[in-house]
Structure 1
Amino acid sequence: MTTDESPYDVLVVGGSGVDTVVRVDSLPVPLVDSLGVEPVREWPGQTGGNVALGCRALGMDVKFLDFVGEDWVGTMLRERLAKGDVDFEPLISPAGTRRAVNLVDATGHRMSFYDGRDPADLRMPREFYLPHLRRARHVHLSISHFTRFLYDDIEELGLPVSTDLHDWDGLAEHQREFARRSDLVFLSAAGAGERIADVMRGILRDGRAQAVIATAGAGGAYLLARDGGSTPRHIPAVTPPGPVVDSNGAGDAFLCGFLYGRMRGLDFGACARLGASAGAYTCTAGGNLALIDAATLDSAQVSRSGS
């Protein structure tokens, strides 16, 4: 854990919640009145919580700021973050803790029904977050609406910032500011489909990003850096070290592996390979139970280099 005097390697802001995971044989599910399933599980984390937990598992000093409800799912979230040794400082949301219901098929693919529930006028007080920004080496903003209002202070302090646009199609307005004002931009290739290369090029053209990374599940990932030409570079997928159980959180784990590499001064390609290993690892257990540590990740990279 950090002390009052030490800097944070990563300050994560926003995006926590609790996923209810329902396992089904295949997607889409049949249109029937009732369907028997395996035991339904609750997994606290969601994207912001998973990034905080994943970075902490890799040995980084992490601070996590977010809104959470005074409800039973909020209690689950606090307990999971505490168990993962994440320094979490929440504000109370009158709307309650964010939730999602995720249908996960036998291959680990998912369909998510997201309940963001934050009111449009929700804001994080500047006097609350600014002291933490001043201690951060890197900031990761989830795309919760209230986090966009931190960008001016982040830029004034000269801090590098990352974000995850998830399945952005390159058109929806909600993600556009995050894409334009972040140094590292992550997204899923699924949202834009065959247009993903154009979307990646547009992010570099219209904003400040130094690199754009599109994850594609079992298809690997794509990396486009400002100094690396106009064609996204393919990053091969890594074979998981065990059977695929759940792809929930794989993109978050990829991001954590990438940031781990950046903290060590590695180039974007090496960071993406670390991300691929971290993402594959997390698919071997439900929720965010399989979080790779630094020694395992480094060992995986040495094995891949040798092969």
Structure 2
Amino acid sequence: MTFQQVSEPYDAYDVLVVGGSGVDTVVPVGALPIPLTDSSAVPPIREWVGHTGTGVALGCAALGLTTGFVDFIGDDHHGSLVRERMAATGVDFRPLISPHGTRRAVNLVAPDGRRMSFYDARDPLDLRMPPEHYLPALRRARHVHLSITHFSRFLYDDIEALGLPVSTDLHDWDGLTEHHREFALRSDLVFLSTAGAGERIASVMREILHEGRAEAVIATAGAGGAYVLGSDDRSPRPVPAVVPPGPVVDTNGAGDAFTCGFLYGRHLGRSLEDCARLGAVAGAHACTSPGTHTTLVGPDVLRAVPTTAQAPAAPPHPTAPPGADQPLRPTPP
């Protein structure tokens, strides 16, 4: 691997994103699940620079947060696409070249915007980012967001030694797969989707909060809104979904946009519930354009969202708040 030689243009990062760049191949399909067939005609297939770290880095920068991004990419065509996408976005992108190439995903997207993703986890388990590459960036960070790429877990000790708050997104974790557990238990803010754990999501959220260091766990439920569980909560609190500002055409990147909106709220010192409402607005915004991370919400939109005290009473949520023994019943994302 080789180092990317760059200057030091930023004194500090509001958010430093670690890992999670790549390229998505988006395939429009008539419906999900797709029928078993030898071949099928589809609308034009397109490539977009995507993946979760890219989305969080671009989204935070679009919201005016000073953003750094360290990761591995390949010395290949797709790595060039990632570099080109990051250029002139305000993200201080500092990649290392990996001989294993740039990560890929193939995403099937239905007309209603739902997607099914096939992720290319090509990084070998022994891939490590040298401390001399990431430590200078960590020392300038106010907050770190770790993607669940395997090499990212080896930064936790240095993050804790520096006393930095850290967030992560477990995506569709079922609460059982061991790969995600360290990320779940060593992060201060933990995001995940209800898709993996299903009706067990409330107990998974409680386990993360009670066994780890998290101050809050946030579960997104697509059209069902989101749930927030803080250290003072007995059960997850529902946060209503937001009506998108246009037709839903593609949900790729909506979860990353939610994370950005939430982190932006935390940067402003807003409450957990207000942060989740900002996340819901950002996530809804992301669903109105095709591709991945193609339309990024700006700070003016989120600043216009009233605080909880200013907001009108929310309509009844499609899922009742769960009690101590009542599991969440999420709407499919």
The residue number in structure 1 matching 2:287 is: 283
Cα gap change, 1:12/1:35 in structure 2, threshold over 3 Å: closer, same or farther? same
Equivalent position to 1:35, from 24, 34, 40: 40
CA drift of 1:305 comes to 2.7
TM-score of the superposition, structure 1-length normalised?
0.96
1:47 aligns with 2:15: no
Equivalent position to 1:60, from 59, 65, 73: 65
How many percent of aligned residue pairs carry the same amino acid? 67
Distance in 1 between residues matched to 2:296 and 2:305, nearest whole Å: 14
The residue number in structure 1 matching 2:131 is: 126
| Superposed counterparts of 1:244-259, under 5 Å | 244-259=248-263
| Superposed counterparts of 1:133-144, under 5 Å | 133-144=138-149
Which structure shows the higher helix fraction? Answer: 1
CA drift of 1:93 comes to 0.8
Return the letter of the residue paired with 2:265. Answer: G
CA-to-partner distance for each residue in 1:92-142, whole Å, 9 max, x for gaps? Answer: 011100000000101100111100100110000011111111100000000
CA drift of 1:4 comes to 3.9
Secondary structure of 1:175's aligned partner: helix
The residue number in structure 1 matching 2:304 is: 299
Unmatched 5+ stretches in structure 2 = 1-6, 314-333
Unmatched 5+ stretches in structure 1 = none
Once structures 1 and 2 are overlaid, which stretch shifts more, 36-45 or 47-56? 36-45
Distance in 2 between residues matched to 1:285 and 1:83, nearest whole Å: 21
Secondary structure of 2:71's aligned partner: strand
Distance in 1 between residues matched to 2:49 and 2:90, nearest whole Å: 14
1:241 aligns with 2:245: yes
CA drift of 1:302 comes to 7.3
CA drift of 1:34 comes to 1.1
CA drift of 1:5 comes to 5.3
- Measured on the aligned residues, the alpha-carbon RMSD in Å equals 1.5
**Do the aligned residues in 1 keep the contact of 2:56 with 2:260 (CA within 8 Å)?**
yes
1:100 aligns with 2:121: no
Cα gap change, 1:167/1:65 in structure 2, threshold over 3 Å: closer, same or farther? same
CA-to-partner distance for each residue in 1:50-79, whole Å, 9 max, x for gaps? Answer: 000000000000000000001111111111
Distance in 1 between residues matched to 2:23 and 2:94, nearest whole Å: 17
Equivalent position to 2:193, from 177, 188, 192: 188
CA drift of 1:45 comes to 2.1
CA drift of 1:87 comes to 1.1
CA drift of 1:300 comes to 4.1
TM-score of the superposition, structure 2-length normalised?
0.89
The residue number in structure 1 matching 2:95 is: 90
**Do the aligned residues in 1 keep the contact of 2:67 with 2:90 (CA within 8 Å)?**
no
1:79 aligns with 2:50: no
Distance in 1 between residues matched to 2:42 and 2:18, nearest whole Å: 34
Distance in 1 between residues matched to 2:189 and 2:10, nearest whole Å: 27
